[in-house]
């Protein structure tokens, strides 16, 4: 059974509990506006919330470097970054990000265009929190499980 949860105009930083396990065909949709400087991140954090806990998926939007980094954190250490593809999100610009969960892959679309794929290195089923912080205004977040 698919279930949908939506938060409108949440304050940032946002820490949102994911009520069920992410699984094949789960989707996270977020809409927002990049501020005039800085960067922001979207994390799928594992287990109970700890500031330095494991992160199954990390998406860091860095317009000043023209990159969006994908990574994960395990045992308090960041692992190898992936950053190909540039950064289609501009300072001051509106955006929509879709994160699709498949059995062995995360697919990210930005503004209805396929952006990247990321092969998770930690089980996504253990991701219990969605965390968003940085220089961004979020209009809405929707989680479909």
Q: What is the pLDDT, as a whole number, of residue 48? A: 66
The per-residue pLDDT for range 102-113, each reduced to its tens digit, is 988 999 999 999
For the entire predicted model, the pTM comes to 0.93
Q: How far apart are CA 28 and CA 110, in angstroms?
A: 12
Q: What gap in Å lies between CA 79 and CA 13, rounded to an integer?
A: 23
| pLDDT confidence of residue 77 | 93
In this prediction, residue 125 carries a pLDDT of 85
Geometric angle at alpha carbon 85, from 143 and 25, rounded to 5°: 25
Q: Domain ranges in the chain? A: 4-144
Closest CA to 45 of 36, 35, 55, 37: 55
Q: How confident is the model at residue 3 (pLDDT cuts 50, 70, 90)?
A: low
Choices 3.30.70.260, 2.30.30.230, 2.60.120.200, 3.40.1650.10: CATH for 4-144:
2.60.120.200
Mean pLDDT computed over 74-81 = 94
Q: How far apart are CA 6 and CA 142, in angstroms?
A: 4
Average pLDDT over residues 79-92: 96
What's the whole-number average pLDDT of the chain?
Answer: 92
């Amino acid at each position: 059974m698919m279930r949908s949860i939506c938060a409108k105009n949440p304050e940032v930083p946002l820490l949102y509990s994911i009520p069920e396990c992410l699984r094949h065909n789960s989707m996270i949709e977020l809409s927002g506006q990049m501020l005039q400087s800085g960067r922001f991140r979207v994390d799928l954090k594992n287990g109970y919330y700890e500031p330095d806990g494991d992160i199954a998926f990390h998406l860091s939007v860095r317009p000043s470097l023209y990159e969006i980094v994908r990574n994960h954190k395990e045992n308090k250490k960041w692992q190898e970054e992936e950053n190909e593809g540039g950064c289609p999100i501009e300072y001051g610009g509106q955006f929509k990000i879709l994160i699709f969960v498949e059995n062995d892959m995360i697919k990210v679309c930005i503004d209805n265009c396929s952006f990247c794929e990321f092969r998770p290195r930690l089980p996504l089923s253990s991701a219990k929190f969605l965390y968003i912080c940085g220089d961004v205004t979020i209009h809405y977040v929707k989680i479909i499980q």
